[in-house]
Amino acid sequence: MPLLVMKFGGTSVADLARIKNAALKVKREVERGYDVIVIVSAMSGKTNELVGWVEQTSPLYDAREYDAVVSSGENVTAGLMALTLQEMDVPARSWQGWQVPINTTSAHASARFKSIPSDNINAKFAEGFKVAVVAGFQGVSPEGRITTLGRGGSDTTAVAFAAAFNAERCDIYTDVDGIYTTDPRITDKARKLDKIAFEEMLELASLGAKVLQTRSVELAMRFKVRLRVLSSFEETDENSGTLVCDEDEIMESKVVSGVAYSRDEAKITLVTVADRPGIAAAIFGPLSEAGVNVDMIVQNISEKADGGAVTDMTFSCPVNQVARACKAMEDAKAAGSINFVELNVDSDVAKISVVGIGMRSHAGVAATMFKALSAENVNIKVISTSEIKISVLIDRKYMELAVQALHDAFELDKAG
């Protein structure tokens, strides 16, 4: 029997009417001849409420009990979804993580999968059950305690099941109808993509296109799970939404597939540090220990000043980590491990990136990008590139303008 994984996020199961709507979509796939594994999130807002209750009860809570409480939101939805399907004469039952079992590490609140044996669920399919409704986001540790995967983890549960059961596809039902060339709130020219490669999605997911948990895309890429993102609030068929797939499945792609942005960035420059072996380690070691997520790094060409070689070191990080980053640098200076003349902070920058697997084989993307920004008089502060991405830091007030200009420059409103 062909098998599908269908995942419904929090807004798709927010109340009983929506659970019924989701169940109808499941029933349709059963009628098409599929066995279905349904992965459900907690009803929207539920996980936040549970986290709040834990924090109010015990500020320095025991992470094992946090997981026991916070995983329960998914249990409720799984049971309700199974009941709803039964009411529609679809043979279904619910599965909590330990019943499958979904074996994970014991890193509570951020557990990782170890194995998902398929025997128990397959035995039920063999008995005539058509749907297994599995609570997302949770698992069981080697010690037999309940674990959770980290916020947004149900996407990753869905992909892991698709891999473990060799599903034909993993459909992620959500409150948007697919992946767009850029944020439709910034330009109405944003276009829904039919297909996007895993690697491109990974760049877009980590850049803040919040549709899929980044880990789920990493897992899908590793196991070549075809992922489809589609709306649970619209009539959908096999061509709806956006397919996230291997690049071999994408015949002709444009050089650039999307423009991503990250609004709340900051740029920090250490002016005039000694240029000697170990200086980068002396700067970025303490930043990493302080939990600062450094993104772009630029080191100037050394110049000789006062007889010794000096350089400027610039990096970017999320704006809410600036205080932590500055303290780590001041502390390192006080301890004598680094020296700088000034610490310049610019907290009003945004990062804009153009992403596309086509860049591997096409020259000129950077030139087009820089020309488009220059035509709008947008100054570029930092540039970084990778094989399939070019990112720039610019003043935050020009962010929308820059996204629109780049979307036009790469003609992303027109299909491939």
Phi then psi dihedrals of residue 190, to 5 deg: -55, 140
Q: How many residues bind ligand ASP (CB under 6 A)?
A: 13
- Write phi, then psi, for 24 (nearest 5 degrees): -65, -35
Cα separation, 291 vs 327, in Å, equals: 12
Residue 97 found at the interface with ligand ASP (CB under 6 A): no
Residue 243's nearest CA partner among 311, 171, 160 is 171
Segment (H or E) for 202: helix 198-206
Using the rule CB under 6 A, which residue among 96, 154, 391, 404 binds ligand ASP? 154
| Residue 186 or 229 with smaller CB distance to ligand ASP | 229
Q: How far is the CB of 95 from Mg ion (least distance, A)?
A: 20
| Tokens, residue 62 | 């025991």
Q: Smallest distance from the beta carbon of 122 to Mg ion, in angstroms?
A: 27
Site stretch for ligand ASP (CB under 6 A), options 57-65, 153-161, 227-235, 287-295: 153-161
Q: Closest approach of Cβ 9 to Mg ion, in Å?
A: 5
Verify binding: residue 174, ligand ASP, rule CB under 6 A.
no
Provide the token pair at 389: 């991405």
| Site for ligand ASP, residues 274 to 313, rule: CB under 6 A | none
Q: Whose CA is closest to 133, among 173, 72, 166, 86? A: 86
Determine which residue in the list 64, 112, 151, 191 makes contact with ligand ASP, applying CB under 6 A: 151
Counting contacts by CB under 5 A, is residue 153 touching Mg ion? no
Continuous segment of H or E residues that includes residue 414: none
Stretch binding Mg ion (CB under 5 A), from 61-69, 150-158, 216-224, 237-245: 150-158
- Does position 152 interact with Mg ion (CB under 5 A)? The reply is yes
Q: How far apart are CA 270 and CA 314, in angstroms?
A: 6
3-state secondary structure of 209: coil
Phi/psi of residue 332, nearest 5 degrees: -65, -35
Answer yes or no whether residue 136 interacts with Mg ion by CB under 5 A: no
String marking each residue 49-88 x if it binds ligand ASP according to CB under 6 A: ------------------------x---------------
* Pairwise CA distance, residues 73 & 49, whole Å: 10
Which residue stretch of 1-9, 235-243, 349-357, 371-379 sits at the interface with Mg ion (rule: CB under 5 A)? 1-9
Kindly tell me the sign of the dihedral angle through the C-alpha atoms of 310, 314, 315, 321.
positive
Q: Which of 13, 14, 42, 146 binds ligand ASP (CB under 6 A)?
A: 42
Q: Which of 96, 81, 79 is nearest to 7 (CA)?
A: 81
Chain contacts with Mg ion (rule: CB under 5 A)? 9, 152
Chain contacts with ligand ASP (rule: CB under 6 A)? 9-10, 41-42, 47, 73, 136-137, 151-155
